[in-house]
Structure 1
Amino acid sequence: MNNMNTSKIIACGATLLLSSCGIYTSYEPQTSVPENLYDEEVTVSDTASIGNIHWRDFFTDPYLQDLIEKGLAQNTDVQTASLRVEEAKASLLSAKLAFLPSFALSPQGGINTVEGSKASHTYTLPVTASWELDIFGKLRNAKRQAKSAYLQSEDYKQAVYSSLIANIANTYYTLLMLDEQLEISRQTADTWKETVESTQALMDAGQADEAAVSQMRATYYEVENSVMDLEEQINQVENSLSLLLAETPHKIARGKLFGQQFTSRLSVGVPLQMLSNRPDVRMAERDLEQAFYVTNQANSAFYPSITLSGSAGWTNSVGGLITNPGKFVTSALASLTQPLFNRGTLIARRRIAKAQQEEALLAFEQKLLDAGTEVNEALVSYQISKRKKDNYENQVAALEKAFTSTSLLMQHGNTTYLEVLTARQTLLNAQLSQTANCFKEIQSLINLYQALGGGQHI
């Protein structure tokens, strides 16, 4: 009885010792983030986040929804990500199967003869089995590492989805911005053409000189060139969007920039919420988790490997006798392999594993800082663009009145063509800037959506 108690105490002590050596310990997920990861304006008290909104609910433009559907179905990066998931799944299955015995059939046969005697036929039909006992956690840590790699491949697939959705949306709204700028430039060109004709009429009546007509005509040609530049840019952006969809270049059906609707509930969530949403953050932690289990495996390499093996089958060759029919034979063997002369190599491997684990931790912490910066920049850009919106509307309205007034004054001879020229050019720049600011507001919201882990495909 005392011997049994002593054995139990020794077994418990050995288990605690092995656990303290980093063989059976499990990875503990990170639960802390750097202080002031967000600015005060960014952090909110609840955990609701626009990153939790499905992309179909976030992007309501039907044309854009169709484009995103095509991209998710056809984009080559998405297909590659799916294949990576399958590869990781197969690796995880292999790690799980390592816990089971391995079986092999090794049939052998031969013909023996001596001069003048009858040939004798021998055969052996054994089934061999081998089973490594995972007493020191080598297989267990390998399985956990494979599982982490599989989950990381899922996170990578999600990251590809999120990035693709954001890229398609940004490219789509770039098209809408260029469409709006093209329309403004064409209207301006038409207005300048009328102004040139009016100024020509004034010159014919002796109320304007050749310099005024030449300047107006030169400005008209400049606006015409900007129209053609915008048409070229639109073609290039359409080609880029076709490439994202894995399609040949073609015209893209689309809506209008102004009037686009997005969620009015803008909440980014607390830092821990971002940890569970952003796939790149999860991938960085998966690297840390895998490095942790690699270190465990490096620790377990210092302990012996125990393997049970055996065989069972039929043979007609038993000792020096040949019998027919054959006899059923079995064998069993237990082996223990203890590293003796490669301890220096094992120590070096453990040091490498620990260093790589520290590197993974630093990379994870840096990823958190990068994530916080992206959220801050996107949110501030969105807020500023939104505040500038009213200013641009008031500015354009004021410049439209100024241009109308200067045009009328010129027709009545109370102002010069240079004032009309300046008023029209200033109005055009303000209208183009207003359109660019509208796009920037939408783009910032898209970037914020992606920075918070939005774009979930499921």
Structure 2
Amino acid sequence: MKKIILLSAVTVLLSSCGIYSKYKPEMAVPDNLYGEGIETADTAGIGDRDWHELFSDPKLQALIEQGLQNNTDYQSAQLRVKEAEAALMSARLAFLPSFALSPQGTVSSFDARKATQTYSLPVTASWELDIFGRMHNAKLQAKAVYAQSEDYRQAVRTQLVAGIANSYYTLLMLDEQLAITRETEEAWRETVSSTRALKNAGMADEAAVSQMEATYYQVQASSLDLKEQINQVENSLALLLAETPRYFERGTLDEQQFPEDLSVGVPVQMLSNRPDVRSAERSLEAAFYGTNQARASFYPSVVLSGSAGWTNSAGAMIVNPGKFLASAVGSLTQPLFNRGQVIAQYRIAQAQQEEASLAFQQTLLNAGSEVNDALVAYQTSREKTILFDKQIVSLEKALKSTSLLMEHGTSTYLEVLTARQSLLSAQLSQTANRFSEIQSVVNLYHALGGGREK
């Protein structure tokens, strides 16, 4: 009965010292995390969607699958998980006793006398009793680091899926812009021919022809710039896929379809989705147990050790055959004066825990800001799409009317030039805005922790 009371008292004492205290997950979320005016629905948000569901283009899906298989950064992240898993296993095995076989033999001779041989075949054992929680907290810290490595791997995976998708959609945008530029180039070629015919008929001067030709060459140069940009994006995509540069089969920008309901979910749900937020909290958890471990260093360490085996050396006597020998030792080590290292390590652990707490708070704020940026960009692009459609319809009518007036001599080449340039600019802007809309969907998916393994 006295032993039970004593053990209970020791347990209460250690708990009050914080050695065996457990980390409590952070649940506090700042108000208006996604920004003022952003409504959050208590439903599964876009981050909960499988990437196959969001990115429905079969060619893009094949590229993402290839990237998940071959990308070197993702493979390195998977190796980090294995390293952390091995470290966790080591921390768990620290609770078990260690055994070692240490055979030893000696041959000695004194004053040219007959040599004597002695030997010992001991098996030594050592077992540290984790009364004060040092190894317990080390195990919990290793467990948090292992979970953090899983979160890091997931963060790399999410970034990879979003990066491949963004590169793919960038290629679709550039393809569309190149097609528009080539159509414009052909239209300018016809315009140059028409203007030259008007000059021969005395209805236009040499300045009009030269101006049309200069604009035609400028459009040709724009086509070359777009081809170069396409090559650069293809090279970047090849790096993500861990392969040499090549042409990638792809669809068109108009074919891309996305779900209309892009809810973001509530802030607490995002905590369980975003791997960087989880990773930051794992760092805080590891620092918490690191502080407990440093606090446990103030208390004694208790080690039980022993050995058993055969030897023919018994002090000054040599007995053949050997005899069985066994010994057991218990030791207690209490740090008294260790040049202040124990105190210094404890203060360092406390400071690291505070740093981890601040880093977690900042990561959470960064996450909310990224979601806000992506949502506003998506909403803005959707609204601008309607305006660009109306603008292009109006500019097409204006170009048609101006061209007819020029043919009948009531309009100048400058008016046709201005109308065609305005139409080209609006068409390119419309394509860029469509890409911005798609890119904001990808960024929103990334910001909400999408792309993770189910």
- TM-score scaled by structure 1? 0.96
Task: Give secondary structure in 2 for the equivalent of 1:31.
Answer: coil
- Bigger shift: residues 310-319 or 321-330: 321-330
Q: Distance in 2 between matches of 1:43 and 1:369?
A: 17
Q: Deviations over 1:112-159 (max 9, x none)?
A: 344575433211000000000000000000011111111111110110
Structure 2 residue 347 is matched with structure 1 residue 361 = no
Aligned-residue CA RMSD (Å): 1.4
Q: Deviations over 1:150-184 (max 9, x none)?
A: 11111101100110111111111111100000000
Structure 2 residue 275 is matched with structure 1 residue 279 = yes
Structure 2 residue 390 is matched with structure 1 residue 398 = no
Task: Give secondary structure in 2 for the equivalent of 1:30.
Answer: coil
What does residue 292 of structure 1 align with?
288
Within a 5 Å distance, the mapping from 1:135-284 to structure 2 comes to 135-284=131-280
- Bigger shift: residues 113-122 or 73-82: 113-122
What does residue 341 of structure 1 align with?
337
Within a 5 Å distance, the mapping from 1:101-116 to structure 2 comes to 101-115=97-111
- Bigger shift: residues 65-74 or 113-122: 113-122
- Bigger shift: residues 204-213 or 273-282: 204-213
Task: Give secondary structure in 1 for the equivalent of 2:91.
Answer: helix
For 1:203, the aligned partner's letter is: K
Describe the shift of the 1:113–1:214 C-alpha distance in structure 2 as closer, same or farther (beyond 3 A): closer
Task: Give secondary structure in 2 for the equivalent of 1:334.
Answer: strand
Q: Deviations over 1:59-103 (max 9, x none)?
A: 111111111111111111011111111111111111111101111
- Percent identity over the alignment is 66
For 1:408, the aligned partner's letter is: L
Give the conservation status (yes or no) of the 8 Å contact 1:111–1:119: yes
Q: Distance in 1 between matches of 2:80 and 2:155?
A: 13
Give the conservation status (yes or no) of the 8 Å contact 1:171–1:241: yes
Within a 5 Å distance, the mapping from 1:45-64 to structure 2 comes to 45-64=41-60
What does residue 413 of structure 2 align with?
417
What does residue 128 of structure 1 align with?
124
Q: Distance in 2 between matches of 1:368 and 1:247?
A: 35
Task: Give secondary structure in 1 for the equivalent of 2:99.
Answer: strand
Q: Distance in 2 between matches of 1:41 and 1:349?
A: 46
Shift, 1:308, TM fit: 0.2
Structure 2 residue 80 is matched with structure 1 residue 89 = no
Q: Distance in 2 between matches of 1:442 and 1:95?
A: 46
Task: Give secondary structure in 2 for the equivalent of 1:144.
Answer: helix
Task: Give secondary structure in 2 for the equivalent of 1:268.
Answer: coil
Shift, 1:195, TM fit: 0.8
Q: Deviations over 1:405-444 (max 9, x none)?
A: 1101110111111111110000000000000000000000
- Bigger shift: residues 80-89 or 118-127: 118-127
Shift, 1:204, TM fit: 0.8
For 2:198, the aligned partner's letter is: L
Q: Distance in 2 between matches of 1:319 and 1:259?
A: 91
For 1:400, the aligned partner's letter is: E
What does residue 35 of structure 2 align with?
39
Consecutive unaligned residues in structure 1, runs of 5 or more = none
Q: Distance in 1 between matches of 2:108 and 2:170?
A: 84
Q: Distance in 1 between matches of 2:339 and 2:191?
A: 90
Task: Give secondary structure in 2 for the equivalent of 1:258.
Answer: helix
For 1:429, the aligned partner's letter is: S
What does residue 375 of structure 1 align with?
371
- After the TM superposition, list the runs of 4 or more consecutive aligned residues in structure 1 that deviate by more than 6 angstroms: none
- Bigger shift: residues 222-231 or 15-24: 15-24
For 1:56, the aligned partner's letter is: H
- Bigger shift: residues 38-47 or 331-340: 38-47
Give the conservation status (yes or no) of the 8 Å contact 1:165–1:455: yes
- Bigger shift: residues 378-387 or 337-346: 337-346
- Bigger shift: residues 228-237 or 33-42: 33-42
Describe the shift of the 1:114–1:356 C-alpha distance in structure 2 as closer, same or farther (beyond 3 A): closer
Give the conservation status (yes or no) of the 8 Å contact 1:42–1:268: no
Shift, 1:343, TM fit: 7.0
Q: Deviations over 1:222-281 (max 9, x none)?
A: 111111111111111111111111111111111101120112231111001000000000
Shift, 1:208, TM fit: 1.3
Q: Distance in 2 between matches of 1:232 and 1:376?
A: 33
What does residue 80 of structure 1 align with?
76
Shift, 1:403, TM fit: 0.3
- Bigger shift: residues 343-352 or 66-75: 343-352
Give the conservation status (yes or no) of the 8 Å contact 1:85–1:150: yes
Q: Deviations over 1:174-233 (max 9, x none)?
A: 111000000000000100110111111111111111111111111111111111111111
For 1:140, the aligned partner's letter is: H
Consecutive unaligned residues in structure 2, runs of 5 or more = none
Task: Give secondary structure in 2 for the equivalent of 1:121.
Answer: strand
Task: Give secondary structure in 2 for the equivalent of 1:413.
Answer: coil
Describe the shift of the 1:244–1:116 C-alpha distance in structure 2 as closer, same or farther (beyond 3 A): closer
Give the conservation status (yes or no) of the 8 Å contact 1:55–1:457: no
Give the conservation status (yes or no) of the 8 Å contact 2:264–2:448: yes
1:98 to 94, 97, 100: 94
For 2:200, the aligned partner's letter is: D
- Bigger shift: residues 347-356 or 427-436: 347-356
For 1:329, the aligned partner's letter is: L
